[in-house]
Amino acid sequence: MIIDQKIVFIWRNINYSGGHQNYGGFVDNEGNEVGYDLIEKNLEDLTFKEAFSYLESMEYGEDDAYRKFDVSELEEYYSYLYKIDPDAEVVEERVGDDAGQRTLYGVVYREENAPTFVLIKSEGDVKQVNTDPYAKKIAKWWGM
């Protein structure tokens, strides 16, 4: 299987309590997990879609990857993204305040080559769990 998109998974951590944090990482189609920090780049005001466009155009090399996923394993979980029911329920539970939010998304292209961000799981002030079985498999694989 060939993964013909640059970014497969993206996670972000946002916290504006006691200082600003807006950082995360993405996994590209070769299994490289590359980090980013939007505060450091003075880009903290970008919307998620704008931040995604910035990351897609970001220049990096293999040396910038802080984790490397096995490509065959990545291809398996990439295929799960396209099996997630877009209408699957996302269960939400408020669990705290000032904890920030860490969220994992899968990136799928379904219509007109525009990215759709599939929420896999989110933890922090609000716990959000995608109830689709494939989303749960991805969350477990990711360690969430």
DSSP state of 67: E
| CB proximity list for 139: less than 8 A, separation 6 or greater | 104, 120, 121, 129, 130
For the stretch 26-46, pLDDT in tens is 999 999 999 888 877 777 777
- Dist. CA 111–CA 1, nearest whole Å: 20
Which residues sit opposite 127 in a β-bridge? 93
Domain boundaries, the chain: 7-142
Q: How confident is the model at residue 77 (pLDDT cuts 50, 70, 90)?
A: very high
Structure tokens at 31: 């299994």
